[in-house]
A and B are shown apart, each in its own frame.
Chain A
Amino acid sequence: MNKEYEVIIIGGGPAGLSAGLYTSRARLNSLLVERGMVGGQIVNAERVDNYPGFPEGISGFELGQLMHQQATKYGLKTIIAEATGIELRDEQKVVKTDEGNFTAKAVIIASGSERRKLGIPGEEKFMGKGVSYCATCDAAFFREVPVAVVGGGDAAITEALHLVKFASKVTVIHRRDQLRASRILQEKAFSEPKVQFLWNTIVDEIEGEDLVKRIKLREVKTGEKSALEVAGIFISIGLKPNTDYLKGILPLDPVGHIITNDKMETGIPGIFAAGDIRHDSARQAITAAGDGATATIYAEKFLS
């Protein structure tokens, strides 16, 4: 495989794929480095209704595939590999990956974010044995049993509303006293008799033998401890930017997002960032795609 490119794009979600479409159409020799599956976080969305051009909605999986197909048609190359760092060598940027090193004059970082974990005892051990991060994948294994959802955002409430079709009872556990989710989702959740809420509560531990049996809870204000019998716990507590491999290379905000200007330029000339990974991103597929296009237009200017 060729090791030298004009542009390397890290991450194959909407930001990286639209960057790839624009670089390929600009006839820049470009490589997309994707660690898992093209499409990024959006592949988990059962239906996307807010990406213009699809009035009937489209599955996130299909949207990702179509974006990749379109960029590939114009010559974008893709490698499945995980970026582990970027090294600056004169004018060149060396993108290090677990499948070898690749160099380019310009790099667009669009490696997005991944699901945040609770980091509590039992979470790793019971993964796939009652701990889940994908209600659309796993809800059907929890027929007529009680489950918990941890989180209070759009994703958590969407998961809870999907789970009521299967579970006997869905307890939403949220560390604050109100939801962050949009009004329309809140209204649906509050009027759903199977959904109950535990406010100001966090999960300390997940217990069981072979499978999850109960979770240990703590009220954050009073410190009062309790336990809840559940067969499943669905964790939906937001996203964490994938920038661990960039620490010490680029300026990051305290959460780990990349700081850019409105040309998607980072602190280093020739390195751009696009999508969820940016400090002030709106974290939507459509804004990510816009970022990718903007980054490419300024990357092209940088190269010429």
Chain B
Amino acid sequence: MNRPLAVGDSNFDEIVLQSKTPVLVDFWALWCRPCLVIAPILDELAEEYSGRVTIVRVDVDQNPKSAARYSIMAIPTLLIFKNGKPITNVVGAKRKQDLKKILDAALD
């Protein structure tokens, strides 16, 4: 299984910004119900997009710097990074088919 990787303030630059492939970052926290709802969807997407998109999770409680750096003020927020820059911003829980459309658009 290719599971989303937990990323934090200490390794965000290395894993997200310096990645050769696009990265989807899920900003989440344990107390956010919609975050728990999309978690299994992201697990599936990590498997289906394996090798094409890296999917990672940032717990905003443990990693306030990463959350503040991208002005995260609502969770779940999903940011898609390409060449170290955020290109797509998705706020709130979305369906799997909608996330696939967003990912496919970002991969073009």
Q: Does A61 contact B (CB under 8 A)?
A: yes
User: Contact partner of A141 among B31, B35, B73, B92, CB < 8 A?
Assistant: B73
Q: Does B17 contact A (CB under 8 A)?
A: no
Whether A43 and B73, one on each chain, are in contact in the complex, defined by CB atoms closer than 8 angstroms, is no
Cβ contacts A213-250/B at 8 Å (1 or 0 each): 00000000000000000001000000000000000000
Return the chain A residue nearest B72 by Cβ: A141
Give chain B residues whose Cβ lies under 8 Å from the Cβ of A102: none
Cβ contacts B45-68/A at 8 Å (1 or 0 each): 000000000000000110000010
Count A-side interface residues using an 8 Å CB cutoff. 27
Give chain B residues whose Cβ lies under 8 Å from the Cβ of A211: 71, 73
Give chain B residues whose Cβ lies under 8 Å from the Cβ of A44: 33-34
Q: Does B89 contact A (CB under 8 A)?
A: yes
Given A43-B33, A43-B34, do A138 and B75 touch, yes or no (CB 8 Å)? yes
Q: Which residues 67-124 of A sit at the B interface, judged by CB distance below 8 A? A: 80, 98-99
Give chain B residues whose Cβ lies under 8 Å from the Cβ of A142: 73
Q: Which residues 66-108 of B sit at the A interface, judged by CB distance below 8 A? A: 67, 71-77, 89, 91-93, 95-97
Cβ contacts A121-152/B at 8 Å (1 or 0 each): 00000011110101011101110000000000
Return the chain B residue nearest A98 by Cβ: B97
Q: Does B29 contact A (CB under 8 A)?
A: yes
* Cβ of A129 to closest chain B Cβ, rounded Å: 6
**Top 8 closest A-B pairs, CB basis?**
A128-B91, A128-B74, A37-B37, A141-B73, A137-B32, A61-B33, A138-B74, A43-B33
